[in-house]
Structure 1
Amino acid sequence: MFFLGRDGMRDLQARAERLSADLASGQWKPNRFDRRALLKLTSANGPVINREAIVTMFDQLYKEHGPGQLNKMTSRLTTLLTDTAAAQDQPSIAALPEGQEALSAVSSLVRSAA
């Protein structure tokens, strides 16, 4: 379960960094369903991928490819992106230094995995 606040943001950052490390070591390779999602998010401007871009990406993938697209994405990636969008629902949480670091870690992962 995802928790908001400083601890939740630290957890989000740690999960993004673990997935990045797994990507770098070859333990995780984005599948074609992951890549579709990641490519849609790479066009997001700024240091973080905003909530609207994530929600739009999920909506577009669902409309274009149906529920199978979302079901075949790596669960760790899907959960990370969903939690990233949820964290931004609370601007006071996302604005914390821990929040900005976590959101930046997710952005770095998306850009390197795409």
Structure 2
Amino acid sequence: MFSLGRDGMRDLRARAESLSTDLASGHGRPNRFDKRALRNLSGAEDTVINREVIVAVFNELYDERGPRQVNKMTGRLTELLMDTAAAQDLSWIAALPEGQEALRAVRSPVRSTA
């Protein structure tokens, strides 16, 4: 379960960095469902992927292909994106230095695969 606060933000950052490292080294390969979501997220120019953008991407994928699109995404990526959106729900979490670092780190796997 995702925890809020400093420890949760450190964990989110570590998961984002781990995924980015795996993708860069070829150990983790996004499937076609992941690629589609990542391609849609790559258009955002901000250093942090905004919560509304993440939600809009999931809604768009669901509307186009139904639950199959979202269900076939890699759990690791889906969880990372959902936790990123959840962390932004509470402004005090996103304002923590650990929160800002974590939210910026999530951008890395999106850039590496887009």
TM-score normalised by the shorter chain: which range applies? Answer: over 0.9
Q: Secondary structure at the match of 2:70?
A: helix
Shift of 1:106: 0.3
Whichever residue aligns with residue 59 of structure 1, its letter is N
Whichever residue aligns with residue 87 of structure 1, its letter is A
Whichever residue aligns with residue 6 of structure 2, its letter is R
TM-score using structure 2 length? 0.97
Whichever residue aligns with residue 68 of structure 1, its letter is R
Whichever residue aligns with residue 12 of structure 1, its letter is L
Moved more, 102-111 or 76-85: 102-111
Runs of 4+ aligned residues of structure 1 deviating over 6 Å after TM superposition are none
Shift of 1:18: 0.7
TM-score using structure 1 length? 0.97
* Coordinate RMSD, CA, aligned: 0.7
Residues 1-114 of structure 1: matches in 2 within 5 Å? 1-114=1-114
CA distance in 2, matches of 1:22, 1:111: 13
Query: In the comparison of the two structures, how many residue pairs are matched?
Result: 114
Structure 2 unaligned segments of length 5 or more: list them: none
Shift of 1:45: 2.4
Q: Secondary structure at the match of 1:45?
A: coil
Q: Percent identity?
A: 70
Q: Deviations over 1:19-58 (max 9, x none)?
A: 1111112111111100110011111121100000000000
